[in-house]
């Protein structure tokens, strides 16, 4: 019986750095975080035990003279505006990749006022709210090709992507837009920028290889994580015997004792959580041996 943890799974550098920042700032005194610091309930709980207090936008509007950490997903300009008005000290842990994307979208918005900015992403996701804010909330959010009717094919289109979406989904959307444009009488501009984070994209092939080598795969992720959903689907493609779990409590104790079990996770899955799952497997009735 072999249990192994995928070397390429776990926090990306953006999340690692936001969590490090939170730990450093917590050592200096009271600290609030706007929204869950990471889309992983177990890690949020760990940091809350260290004193981090999670607040929402309503809280932000009513609180004054506090210190608030902005997570790796980034925030729209309105958040900085509220903070300034309320004397709130911002500790900005926005991932540099997201920051750069925000700036790029903002620049495009200013330079092409008559065009449409389309963001391939999940409506309501924290990063998407931050990106949409760069366009005064005029950007069109498209989650899949099914939403394509939201786009006006008579006006220029500048397409970007939320950093954690799938490349295949982005390409399918781009192709769908191209075929719609082909039917138009007057030509329009389409600029498609694949802004999916390389830290996510580079993991996919390695993750699929890892998954294909296992008899059974346990994908550890948070239910709110977009990246976890995307990577889980890739694992399942490579190995249909893949299961999504949030933590060791989700383990079934009827796992086959003949299985070669692989544990992997998203960019928001802490290493300690995957190790906890590996440990729990070894405590199941069968004897498991860690590789």
| Dihedral in degrees, nearest 10, Cα atoms 22, 24, 29, 35 | 0
Which residue is it, tokens 């991932």? 95
Does the footprint of ligand SF4 cover residue 228 (CB under 6 A)? no
Nearer to ligand SF4, 10 or 216 (CB): 10
Cα distances (angstroms) measured from residue 253 to each of 174, 214, 223, 279, 283:
44, 18, 22, 13, 10
Can you say how many angstroms the Cα of residue 53 is from the centroid of all Cα atoms in its chain? Answer: 21
Which residue is it, tokens 């249990």? 3
Contact 72, 48 (CB under 8 A): no
For residue 268, how many C-alpha atoms fall within 13 Å in the half-sphere facing its CB? 27
The piece of 21-29, 195-203, 250-258, 283-291 that touches ligand SF4 (CB under 6 A) is: 195-203
Between CA 59 and CA 201 the distance in angstroms is 35
The piece of 12-20, 143-151, 250-258, 277-285 that touches ligand SF4 (CB under 6 A) is: 12-20
Does the footprint of ligand SF4 cover residue 220 (CB under 6 A)? no
CB of 201 to ligand SF4, least distance (A): 9
Nearer to ligand SF4, 157 or 204 (CB): 204
Which spans in 86-225 are helix H? 96-111, 126-132, 167-182, 198-212
CB of 73 to ligand SF4, least distance (A): 7
Of the candidate residues 161, 199, 214, 225, the single one contacting ligand SF4 (CB under 6 A)? 199
Cα distances (angstroms) measured from residue 100 to each of 90, 96, 185:
19, 6, 35
Cα distances (angstroms) measured from residue 243 to each of 38, 169, 196, 237, 249:
21, 22, 25, 12, 13
Is 127 one of the catalytic residues? yes
CB of 106 to ligand SF4, least distance (A): 17
SS3 per residue for 25-56: HHCCCCCEEECCCCCCHHHHHHHHHCCCEEEC
CB of 207 to ligand SF4, least distance (A): 14
Of the candidate residues 37, 70, 197, 264, the single one contacting ligand SF4 (CB under 6 A)? 197
Does the footprint of ligand SF4 cover residue 15 (CB under 6 A)? yes
Nearer to ligand SF4, 79 or 269 (CB): 269
By CB under 6 A, the residues from 93 to 132 that bind ligand SF4 are 95, 97-98
Nearer to ligand SF4, 116 or 267 (CB): 267
The piece of 78-86, 181-189, 196-204, 253-261 that touches ligand SF4 (CB under 6 A) is: 196-204
Considering the candidates 127, 168, 175, 213, report the single residue annotated as catalytic: 127
CB of 262 to ligand SF4, least distance (A): 22
What tokens appear for 244 in the block? 């999504």
Closest CA to 162 of 134, 190, 191, 123: 123
Residue span 163-192 as binding mask against ligand SF4, x where in contact by CB under 6 A, dash where not? xx----------------------------
Residues that bind ligand SF4 (CB under 6 A): 12-15, 72, 95, 97-98, 163-164, 197, 199-200, 267
Q: Could you give the residue numbers annotated as active site?
A: 127
């Amino acid at each position: 019986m072999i249990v192994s943890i995928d070397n390429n799974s776990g926090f990306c550098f953006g999340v690692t750095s936001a969590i490090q920042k939170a730990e450093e700032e917590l050592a200096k005194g009271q600290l609030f975080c706007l929204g869950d610091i990471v889309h992983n309930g177990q890690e949020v709980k760990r940091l809350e035990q260290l004193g981090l207090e999670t607040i929402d936008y309503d809280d932000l509007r009513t609180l004054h003279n506090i210190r608030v950490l902005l997570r790796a997903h980034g925030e729209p300009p309105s958040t900085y505006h509220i903070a300034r008005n309320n004397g709130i000290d911002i500790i900005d842990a926005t991932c540099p990749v997201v920051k750069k994307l925000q700036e790029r979208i903002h620049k495009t918005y200013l330079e092409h006022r008559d065009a449409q900015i389309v963001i391939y992403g999940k409506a309501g996701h924290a990063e998407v709210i931050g990106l949409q804010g760069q366009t005064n909330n005029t950007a069109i959010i498209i989650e899949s090709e099914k939403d394509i009717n939201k786009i006006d094919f008579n006006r220029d289109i500048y397409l970007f992507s939320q950093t954690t979406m799938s490349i295949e989904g982005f390409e399918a959307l781009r192709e769908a837009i191209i075929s719609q444009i082909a039917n138009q009488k007057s030509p329009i501009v389409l600029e498609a920028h694949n802004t999916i984070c390389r830290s996510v994209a580079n993991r996919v092939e390695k993750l699929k290889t890892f998954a294909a080598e296992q008899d059974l795969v346990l994908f550890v992720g948070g239910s709110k994580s977009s990246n976890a959903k995307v990577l889980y689907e890739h694992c399942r493609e490579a190995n249909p015997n893949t299961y999504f779990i949030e933590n060791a409590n989700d383990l079934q104790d009827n796992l086959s004792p003949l299985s070669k079990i692989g544990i992997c996770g998203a960019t928001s899955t802490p290493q300690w959580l995957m190790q906890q799952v590996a440990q729990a497997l070894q405590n199941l009735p069968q004897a498991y041996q860690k590789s």
